[in-house]
């Protein structure tokens, strides 16, 4: 880290740390701690993250390429020029396949036959934005900022996140409703008591706004397994009851909070090696099994991704 | 504020258990003429190598031919891998040499590394503001307009899963020069974004 002439107590991250961080490689604990509290370094890190994201976007946009043919090991000349190009073009049309080229030479030409199809892609298109792809499955493992999920077909997919990735979690997470937390409660009111259907913990999250419920915002007091008291900004105290059917949504979670076994919906850009560089991740536990839901976005903007994943977070209330 | 690296994600790694060991095993089998091993090797590295070459050349057909040549070189030279670098950086270095040969052969004008401005500016200027305002899609578009050596170093650092020392090894320059070149690339990127912003 570099010493800041203006403040030697907190040496700034050096370029190597910033680049390593943006490249998804580990940085030291001291650097990490410094970054958490240094706006200057956060700004620099965000700039490098954006550059890195742009590079990955290009890589993701790169079309697949055919597996090259192999010459016999007898040293015959490798195909050149138009023949090879034609072979590659033909192969590219089947880029999703694993091409196992059986190569033989007949009158100087190479014949290629495809033994695919084999693996199916684990990423699917996102309706409304051709640049985005979706991966969904069961969360197997969280390592730092990376998630490994298993799709319904049993295929593992690595989902990577950055500081700008929207990560939400939802389910019967009543233990996350704690005294002092800012919450938005949606439910039915009777006799001055709200029976909570959805409790959003943290910053208000407009996407989780299903019809039929009146939202009431406030701070949690007297939290227990049966409910809590909602203290509104005017000081009014409203009893709120919760149950196992209450959906708790945490719209700004970190990957480290996600629990193995949750159903994951991730939207982002496909990266090399079949990874998904996520713009948004929704981890839900209210489904007993992981259904495949096609994510649909209004456009390619980050807010659209947030809205779409928010709707999934609130399922089944949102009808998602 | 959030820690932008709290989740140092976005890496370009696979879910393989032990890539180094798997790669070494594949190369050993390739050296023995195992075609299935070659297919596995291609699946593990082909797309990354292709993306890097395409980033540098900007031409798909040319990139495909270069990747084919690189993979053929792997097929023929697997036994020559000495394990002094990662297999990923080794095959990317092969592809880089193939790229340079092809671009020379086509008499394309290539910015000489020695002439590349590797020295970053002294501090953030108006271009940095442009980067702060930019959307990801704009950045992606602007990267296409960078000079080839700038695209190359960005691709190696952020798209290939290589560490900075590995990037330095592929480019055959010191790590410090890699950092300078990355900063110069970002400065150039900022400048492009700034110009685009002014023209809107």
For residue range A256-314, list pLDDT tens digits in order. Answer: 888 888 889 999 988 767 789 899 999 988 654 445 567 777 778 787 788 778 777 77
Tell me, yes or no, whether A191 and A104 share the same domain.
Answer: no
Contact (CB<8Å) A145/B9: yes
Q: Please determine, for residue A21, whether its predicted confidence score (pLDDT) is greater than 50.
A: yes
Tell me, yes or no, whether A228 and A151 share the same domain.
Answer: yes
Tell me, yes or no, whether A215 and A295 share the same domain.
Answer: yes
Q: Which domain holds residue A170?
A: 120-320
Tell me, yes or no, whether A238 and A307 share the same domain.
Answer: yes
Question: Which distant-in-sequence residues (6+ apart) come within 8 Å of A130 by Cβ?
Answer: none
Contact (CB<8Å) A163/B5: yes
Q: A76, A104, A119: which is the final residue of a domain?
A: A119
Tell me, yes or no, whether A137 and A184 share the same domain.
Answer: yes
Q: How far is B12 from chain A (nearest CA, A)?
A: 6
In chain A, the number of structural domains is 3
Q: A61, A86, A105: which is the final residue of a domain?
A: A61
Tell me, yes or no, whether A159 and A97 share the same domain.
Answer: no
Contact (CB<8Å) A55/B164: no
Q: How far is B168 from chain A (nearest CA, A)?
A: 12
User: What does the mean pLDDT of chain A come to?
Assistant: 72
Give the closest of B1, B4, B67 to A49, CB-based: B4
Measured CA to CA, the distance from residue A126 to residue A136 in angstroms comes to 12
Q: Please determine, for residue A132, whether its predicted confidence score (pLDDT) is greater than 60.
A: yes
Tell me, yes or no, whether A186 and A275 share the same domain.
Answer: yes
Tell me, yes or no, whether A69 and A56 share the same domain.
Answer: no
- Selection from A189, A51, A261, A226 nearest residue B156 by Cα: A51
Tell me, yes or no, whether A260 and A197 share the same domain.
Answer: yes
A128: left (phi over 0), alpha (psi -120 to 50) or beta: left
Q: Residues A263, A147: contact at Cβ < 8 Å?
A: no
Tell me, yes or no, whether A220 and A318 share the same domain.
Answer: yes
ipTM above 0.85, yes or no: no
Tell me, yes or no, whether A44 and A163 share the same domain.
Answer: no
- Selection from B5, B83, B47, B151 nearest residue A45 by Cα: B5
Q: How far is B114 from chain A (nearest CA, A)?
A: 22
Contact (CB<8Å) A39/B1: yes
Q: A29, A45, A61: which is the final residue of a domain?
A: A61
Q: Please determine, for residue A145, whether its predicted confidence score (pLDDT) is greater than 70.
A: yes
Tell me, yes or no, whether A144 and A163 share the same domain.
Answer: yes
Chain B residues 130-189 within an 8 A CB cutoff of chain A = 131-132, 134, 136-137, 139-140, 142-144, 154-155, 157-161, 163-164, 175, 179, 182-183, 185-186, 189
Residue of B1, B2, B5, B37 to mutate when probing chain A, most A C-beta within 10 A: B5
Q: Is the pTM of this model over 0.95?
A: no
- The predicted pLDDT at position A113 comes to 27
Other CB atoms within a 10 A radius of the CB of residue A294 amount to 11
Ordered by where they begin, the domains of chain B are 19-105 (1.10.1740.10), 113-199 (1.10.10.10)
Task: Burial-class residue A287 by CB neighbours within 10 Å (0-12, 13-18, 19+).
Answer: middle
């Amino acid at each position: 880290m570099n010493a800041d002439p203006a403040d030697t107590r907190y040496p700034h991250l050096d370029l190597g740390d910033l680049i390593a961080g943006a490249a998804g490689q580990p940085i030291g604990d001291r650097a990490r701690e410094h970054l958490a509290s240094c706006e200057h370094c956060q700004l620099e890190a965000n700039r490098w993250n954006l550059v890195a994201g742009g590079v990955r976007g290009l890589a993701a946009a790169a079309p697949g390429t055919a597996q090259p043919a192999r010459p016999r090991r007898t040293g015959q000349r490798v195909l050149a020029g138009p023949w090879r190009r034609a072979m590659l073009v033909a192969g590219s049309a089947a880029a999703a396949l694993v091409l196992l080229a059986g190569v033989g030479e007949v009158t100087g030409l190479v014949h290629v036959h495809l033994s695919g199809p084999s693996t199916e892609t684990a990423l699917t298109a996102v309706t409304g934005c051709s640049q985005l792809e979706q991966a969904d499955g069961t969360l197997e493992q969280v390592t730092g900022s990376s998630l490994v999920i298993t799709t319904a077909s049993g295929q593992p997919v690595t989902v990577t996140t950055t500081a700008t990735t929207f990560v939400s979690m939802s389910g019967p997470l009543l233990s996350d409703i704690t005294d002092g937390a800012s919450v938005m409660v949606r439910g039915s009111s009777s006799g001055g008591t709200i029976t909570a259907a959805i409790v959003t913990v943290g910053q208000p999250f407009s996407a989780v706004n299903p019809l039929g419920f009146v939202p009431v915002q406030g701070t949690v007091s007297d939290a227990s397994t049966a409910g809590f008291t909602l203290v509104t900004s005017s000081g009014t105290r409203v009893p709120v009851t919760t149950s196992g059917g209450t959906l708790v949504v945490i719209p700004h979670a970190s990957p480290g909070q996600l629990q193995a076994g949750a159903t994951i919906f991730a939207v982002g850009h496909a990266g090399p090696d079949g990874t998904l560089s996520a713009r948004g991740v929704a981890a839900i536990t209210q489904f007993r099994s992981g259904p495949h839901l096609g994510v649909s976005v209004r456009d390619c903007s980050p807010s659209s991704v947030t809205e779409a994943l928010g709707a999934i977070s609130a399922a089944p209330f949102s009808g998602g | 504020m959030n820690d932008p690296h709290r989740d140092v994600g976005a890496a370009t790694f696979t879910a393989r258990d032990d890539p180094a060991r798997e790669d070494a095993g594949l190369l050993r089998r390739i050296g023995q003429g195992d075609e299935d091993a070659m297919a596995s090797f291609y699946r593990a590295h082909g797309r990354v190598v292709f993306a890097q070459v395409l980033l540098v050349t900007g031409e798909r057909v040319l990139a495909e031919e270069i990747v084919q040549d690189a993979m053929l070189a792997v097929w023929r030279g697997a036994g020559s891998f000495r394990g002094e670098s990662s297999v990923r950086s080794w095959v990317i270095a092969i592809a880089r040499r193939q790229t340079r040969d092809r671009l020379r052969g086509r008499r394309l004008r290539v910015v000489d590394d020695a002439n590349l401005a590797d020295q970053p500016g002294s501090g953030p200027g108006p271009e940095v503001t442009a980067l702060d305002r930019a959307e990801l899609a704009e950045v992606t578009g602007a990267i296409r307009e960078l000079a080839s050596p700038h695209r190359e170093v960005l691709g190696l650092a952020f798209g290939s899963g290589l560490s900075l020392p590995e990037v330095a090894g592929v480019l055959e320059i010191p790590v410090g020069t890699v950092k300078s070149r990355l900063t110069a690339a970002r400065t150039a990127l900022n400048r492009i974004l700034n110009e685009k912003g002014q023209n809107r």
